[in-house]
Amino acid sequence: MQVLRTNPTARTKSLHITSALPPSASMPIAFAATAGVVSLLAWADAKRKSEKPVIQLPSSPAAAAFHQGVLDRCQSIHEEYKCVPGLTNGHVETIFAAKLRRSPKVEYARECLIMADKGCVALDWDHEAQGLPEDAPIVILMPGLTGGSGDSYILHAVVHARELGIRAVVCNGRGTAQSPVTTPQYYSASYTGDIREVVAHIQRTYPRSTLLACGWSLGANILIKYLAEEGQASPLSAAVSMCNPFDLSISDANFQVGFNRIYDWNLAAALRRIMGDHGALWNRAKGKFKPKVAQAARTIREFDDAITIHSFGWESTDQYYAASSSSKAVPQVAIPMLCLQALDDPIAPKEAIPYEALRENPNCVLATTPCGGHLGWVSGKGGPLEAPWSNEVMMQWLVSVMQSQKEGQGMMGGIAGAEAKLEEVGAKR
């Protein structure tokens, strides 16, 4: 039997050499290993959360059949929503999209529309859409609180609308997007007077065009309230609501929790900037306005308490939030409407989504994604730095609704046809 002997001295030297590697040589190895583990965990988390959007159709079988027919032409909403590794947290995705998303170049033609109360609303028309036919469909884009025509998600929507032959116009809230403020009144979650006058103006200017609308965040809240007030008389043919806070009392309470305070402070700062540009109007205004308090406001609630509720006659901020929530207006919406919500939205929390009201309205469809943040949805086909996922979904859906209407299957006609088919199937059974 042969015995293999080792040399203890050689082994000791070998171990000594290994342990004596300089820190500068071992750090890259440790960093690479850590980065690999983190990347793997991020990939696994994104894979676990990725799934197809959950679609809620109306409870009415006939209405569900109509909407399913519309959705069948919308490929993107049926595909898996692929969460981006490292961006599966609602806060991270919200901030990433706001700070890093690329903005396409858009040239606007601004039209300042004077309202009945002498206030001004700036309409930014897509200048490059001038070559479209006179009767091309028109989509009215309504940004979120303090947002405007220069925001990346709006710019991408303008470009995609033009590519589909739809003329886009951005309805900037008073004072946003560097628009003039001529009266001591901004816009609010409850006030639909401006969008009503804007729609009427566009209808007069383009009487042969189909009118559509898309709203984000607070813009979505205002849009739904407007649709509810118009009911069957609405000049709009279809609408999309995205990242809607729905219940402003829940949203306000949500702002006061943890990291969400950062959003509250940031939005309040934007309101202060607008106020600072036009503060003299409120200094001279009659009423209970508190311009000095507003210019020092640290939260949206503080600003609303100092300015908003007095502009629109509310007794308190709590009353204003409760009465202005679009969740209560959902039952009165009388045109096809798609609602897109991200379940990890830190500003429009999932607890505020009026599932039952949407289900019971034959005109409404709800689609939710596991990730997306607020105004994020960075899983678009162009990658996290390009157009949001919601961009293609909303445009495909609007085009599909118009196609149904062109085929003689408007909302009521489509439901009536579906009811007839259901009765036919029942009779055969």
Q: Which residues pair with 263 in a beta bridge?
A: none
Q: What is the pLDDT of residues 371-388, one digit of tens each?
A: 999 999 999 888 899 999
| Amino acid 16: pLDDT | 43
Q: What is the pLDDT of residues 221-277, one digit of tens each?
A: 999 999 999 999 999 999 999 999 999 999 999 999 999 999 999 999 999 999 887
Look at 181 and 15; give whichever has higher pLDDT.
181
| Amino acid 48: pLDDT | 81
d(CA 416, CA 364): 16
Q: Which residues are catalytic?
A: 217, 345, 374
| Amino acid 74: pLDDT | 96
Q: What is the pLDDT of residues 150-207, one digit of tens each?
A: 999 999 999 999 999 999 999 999 999 999 999 999 889 999 999 999 999 999 999 9
- Asked whether residue 419 carries a pLDDT value surpassing 50, the answer given is no
Which among 115, 79, 150 is positioned nearest to 392, based on CA atoms? Answer: 79
Domain range summary for the chain, segments of one domain joined by +: 49-247+325-428, 248-320
- Asked whether residue 3 carries a pLDDT value surpassing 60, the answer given is no
For 104, 214, 244, 305, the CA distances from 240, given in Å and listed in that order, are 22, 5, 10, 30
Q: What is the pLDDT of residues 50-79, one digit of tens each?
A: 899 999 999 999 999 999 999 999 999 999
Is the pTM here over 0.85, yes or no? yes
The CATH number of domain 49-247+325-428 is 2.60.320.10: no
305 DSSP 8-state letter: I
Banded pLDDT at 418 (limits 50, 70, 90): very low
Q: What is the pLDDT of residues 81-117, one digit of tens each?
A: 999 999 999 999 999 999 999 999 999 999 999 999 9
Which among 340, 151, 319, 148 is positioned nearest to 239, based on CA atoms? Answer: 340
Banded pLDDT at 287 (limits 50, 70, 90): confident
- The secondary structure element, H or E, covering residue 412 is helix 411-428
